[in-house]
Structure 1
Amino acid sequence: MDLTKRENNAIQANGNHFVNGARSDIAITPHGSDWYFTVCAVMIVSSFAFAGLSFTKPRSHRIFHYITAAITMVAAIAYFTMGADLGETGIQPEFIRPNNHLVAGNLREIFYVRYIDWVITTPLLLLDLLLTAGMPWPTILYTLLIDEIMIITGLVGSLVTSSYKWGYYVFGCIAFFWVAYTVTWTARKHAMAVGPDVHKTYLICGVWTIFLWFLYPIAWGLCEGGNVISPDSEAVFYGVLDIMAKPVFGALLIWGHRGIEPARLGLHIRDYDDPMPGGLERKTEKDLAGNGHHHHGVTDGNTATTTGASTTV
């Protein structure tokens, strides 16, 4: 039996991508690929954990488990892609640093799949938070739109080679500050009005999220923006942030929701075998036919009564 360790050959298999005849020479090494696959494994385990915990709740109480499991599953696919050295393109950095061997080169590898991940998962993260706070739907939808602007401007900026990339960076930061204001101020007041247990859960998860999200623009400035740190260091920076912002956030949120019913948050979710609201019961076709016949009789009686009344008048 061959017991030799199998090496990670993802970069050899997939890393020969060329842009206009040139290959990305500022790119991840096998160490960066190994780390991306490690984060992928963490995301997969978290997804199964959150999905499994949903079975401890009635189906109508599983919305936060489902959203949180979806977040980590999408992230798992993105990290598998980055570990395989796919979902990327080479972009000429604005700042060429020939004296720094870690980032010396003509094309820096930019993982656009990371932004595809974020454009799906960050709105889901905000949905987890804002639903916890019992926010009204118009505010939730508007906040999600601003969040999408934040992510898309980050993507566009990372793909721009000139100093105009920082204009997109500013647009993204403005959008982020709007989202941060909604999470830390408006939604916090809503959570406080719902109850102390809801407010405690929201405060822990909200502060945790916004603190971490403040670090992402710093990572962007050091990586895609300024070409200061190597792609392997970029992998560690973003990977640690994503682990804390997704699986750790999810664990805090699910734990906080263990005693909170969704109905308290304005989420009135019915399962197929739940009783109808107002004490009404579902009717079979036979019942409906009988009710229709009975209703017809009542209608005829009312009609007759009305006619008689008219005649009397």
Structure 2
Amino acid sequence: MFGNMIKRDNNALRVNSYPALEADEHITTHGSDWYFAVTAVMTVATFAFIGLSLRQPRQKRVFHYITAAITMVASIAYFTMGSNLGWTAINVEFERSDPVVRGQDREIFYVRYIDWFITTPLLLMDLLLTAAMPWPTILYIILVDEVMIVTGLVGALVYSRYKWGYFVFGCAALFYIVFVLAWEARRHANVMGKDVGRTFLLCGSLTAFLWTLYPIAWGVCEGGNVISPDSEAIFYGILDLLAKPVFGALLIWGHRGIDPSRLGLYIHDYDEKDVAVMAGEKKDGNANGVSNGHSNGVRADETV
């Protein structure tokens, strides 16, 4: 009896079912359970990164905050997918005879792309700021990244063979991003010091490798309709776990001895007497001194 009282069934698919929006191929409770498990990992990682940031001065928390934001957004997205929300049904281009992918309509989670639209630029910021890349380059790479995500989403929502045109555009954008990480950003990081170069090499190589697997996942899921939505959940979930919380842990560990000011990220705090603040106070003091001296001189003339 006690066991029945504490038992909790996953009713997300039953509660969040929409008769007007049906898909022949959709996640089961197994896929939903997996999405909720990934949600838990992302949430724990978010609190861990925030907790680690509290051990640092405010000026040195930038990478903690960026990384925590990545897992926070991902946790919301995975909770949405686990709840069987944030999806639409799209006609498949390739109908399969395999029972797990048999049907005319497939469940496409557009919320996954909303997650990537927010988190992948943050991931790139983590890497490119570590490499101390110039801001114009960072902004341009982020734009290319957004093109990659948007073309992936549009392709996933297209049921004709034209979806592969968007796939090609996305792969071209991905190729350019990987090239920048592997060549230009890596060289830039090495110039900043061995510890910076080592951290970038570890995290950048992980990201470049994992990101090249996402087009494969897209091809067998939204694109080619080869594997079931439950298998899709596992494939994307493992990639996201490695690309976000594992990546974040490695990045923050690598930054433990790196002062952000070395990377051109000197952040001023209101209670800090650094060179810039002292220079500003000195400038204000000189201005006051000149003003007072002039006033005194006027009074002296008046006295004479």
AA aligned opposite 1:31: H
Q: 1:236-285: CA deviations, max 9, x gaps?
A: 000000000000000100000000000011101111111142572776xx
CA deviation profile, 1:62-97 (whole Å, cap 9, x unmatched): 000000000000000000000000000000011111
Equivalence map 1:116-131=2 (5 Å):
116-131=114-129
| 1:250 to 2:254 alignment | no
The answer to whether the 8 A contact 1:18-1:90 is kept is no
Q: Take 1:270 and 1:297, find their aligned partners in 2: how far apart are those partners?
A: 30
The corresponding residue for 2:9 is: 7
Unaligned regions of 5+ residues in structure 2, if any?
299-304
Q: Which has the greater radius of gyration?
A: 1
| CA shift for structure 1 position 55 | 1.2
Of all paired residues, the percent bearing the same amino acid is: 61
Distance in 1 (CA, whole Å) between partners of 2:27 and 2:127 is 34
Counterpart selection for 2:140 from 139, 142, 155: 142
The structural deviation recorded for 1:25 is 1.3
Alignment check: 8 A CA contact 1:33 1:85 kept: yes
Amino acid at match of 1:26: E
Q: Offset of 1:294 from its aligned partner?
A: 4.0
Q: 2:162 aligns with which of 145, 161, 164?
A: 164
TM-score normalised per structure 2: 0.93
Residues 5, 265 of structure 1: alpha-carbon distance in 2 compared, 3 angstrom cutoff: same
Change (3 A) 1:291 1:84: same
| Aligned-pair CA distance for 1:301 | 7.8
Q: Which residue of 2 aligns with 1:105?
A: 103
Structure-2 separation of matches of 1:69 and 1:12: 32
Is the 1:60–1:271 Cα contact (8 Å) retained in structure 2?
A: yes
* Residue ranges of structure 1 left out of the alignment (5+ in a row): 304-313
Q: What one-letter code is carried by the residue in structure 2 that aligns with 1:124? A: L
TM normalised by structure 1 equals 0.90
Alignment correspondent of 2:302: none
Q: CA RMSD in A?
A: 2.2
Question: Is the contact made by 1:275 and 1:281 (CA closer than 8 Å) also made in structure 2?
Answer: no
Provide the rounded CA distance (Å) in 1 between the counterparts of 2:133 and 2:280: 32
Cα distance, 1:291 vs. partner?
Answer: 7.0
Cα separation, partners in 2 of 1:293 and 1:162, compared to 1, 3 Å: closer
Tell me the number of residue pairs that the alignment of Structure 1 and Structure 2 aligns.
297
Cα separation, partners in 2 of 1:221 and 1:275, compared to 1, 3 Å = same
Q: Give distance in 2, aligned partners of 1:273 and 1:289.
A: 18
